[in-house]
């Protein structure tokens, strides 16, 4: 993510595939993926979706794996399109995690700088930290749930089904079942300013943080309600619901007040 950030922060119309391929090669060489065969690595490609007005590189970037016969018989183009959708979703989650981690370090430095000169602003930063902690809790649990409870479990089932397959149709069914299991268990964002200017900016920040906190909580409650509806018939979704609201914080926030 550190390597991609400078490129993908540009407007979508200003990024180029060859620059991203260079970043991808650097990232592969810095990871355990470099020990894979050249045939596997050469099939990993950068795909840029059609850009629309106002989009950034983050919105159009995707990794694509090029398949040839006979593998494309088992994994057809329709399945590859579903993989692209899954990648886009996971990549957005990772981007949010990365952004939250980056702003945490920045905000900790900011609190240290303003604590003596603007003591009243410390309470504002504390509230911002609480909102960010909620977001980190959500994204971390969502990411771990998908990676370890959905993808890892589905992968082991796929390996077992492929090992037991005795003909081509069985291989196709094994892969189709793999995708279905994933979808079933995943629910488918140096000069000093005048004091008045600083106060205006602080007031705007307070209003913005309040709006963000309110919107996040509202969307979180809606997301949990959706999970509860989709949890019927799923083995794993109830566990995600519990992990996201283990202390019933969000449920209590919508409960009517008691006298």
pLDDT digits (tens, 9 = 90+) for 137-186: 888 888 899 899 999 999 999 999 999 999 999 999 999 999 999 988 88
d(Cα 234, Cα 162) in Å, to the nearest integer?
23
In angstroms, the CA 188 to CA 190 distance is 47
Domain ranges in the chain with CATH number 1.20.120.1900: 67-189+193-253
Distance CA 88, CA 95 (A): 10
Q: Which residues of the chain have pLDDT under 50?
A: 189-196, 198-199, 202-203
Count of H-run helices and E-run strands, the chain: 12, 2
Q: What is the pLDDT of residue 190?
A: 40
3-class state of residue 182 by DSSP: helix
Query: Which residues does 226 contact at the CB level (< 8 Å), separation at least 6?
Result: 187
pLDDT reported for residue 167: 95
Which listed CATH number (3.40.47.10, 3.30.460.10, 1.10.287.90, 1.20.120.1900) goes with 67-189+193-253? 1.20.120.1900
pLDDT at 152: 94
Beta bridge partners of 166: none
Q: Which two tokens stand for residue 142?
A: 């969502």
138/70 Cα distance (integer angstroms): 40
- Residue given tokens 């470099």 in the structure block: 34
């Amino acid at each position: 993510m550190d390597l991609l950030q400078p490129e993908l922060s540009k407007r979508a119309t200003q990024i180029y595939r060859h620059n991203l391929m260079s970043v991808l090669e650097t990232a592969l060489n810095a990871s355990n993926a470099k020990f894979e065969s050249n045939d596997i690595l050469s099939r990993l490609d950068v795909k840029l979706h059609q850009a629309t007005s106002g989009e950034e590189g983050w919105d159009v970037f995707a990794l694509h794996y090029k398949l040839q016969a006979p593998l494309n018989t088992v994994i057809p183009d329709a399945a590859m399109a579903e993989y692209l959708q899954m990648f886009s979703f996971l990549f957005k989650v990772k981007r949010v995690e990365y952004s939250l981690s980056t702003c945490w370090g920045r905000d900790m430095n900011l609190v240290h700088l303003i604590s003596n000169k603007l003591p009243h602003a410390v309470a504002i930063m504390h509230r911002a930290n609480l909102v960010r902690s909620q977001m980190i809790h959500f994204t971390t649990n969502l990411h771990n749930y998908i990676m370890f409870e959905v993808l890892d479990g589905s992968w082991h089932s796929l390996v077992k089904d492929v090992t037991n397959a005795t003909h081509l149709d069985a291989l196709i069914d094994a892969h189709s079942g793999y995708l279905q299991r994933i979808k079933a268990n995943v629910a488918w964002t140096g000069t000093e300013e005048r004091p008045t200017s600083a106060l205006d900016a602080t007031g705007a920040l307070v209003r913005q943080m309040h709006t963000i906190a309110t919107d996040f909580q509202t969307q979180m409650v809606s997301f949990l309600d959706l999970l509860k509806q989709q949890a019927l018939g799923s083995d794993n979704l109830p566990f995600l619901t519990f992990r996201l609201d283990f202390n019933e914080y969000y449920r209590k926030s919508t409960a009517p007040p008691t006298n």
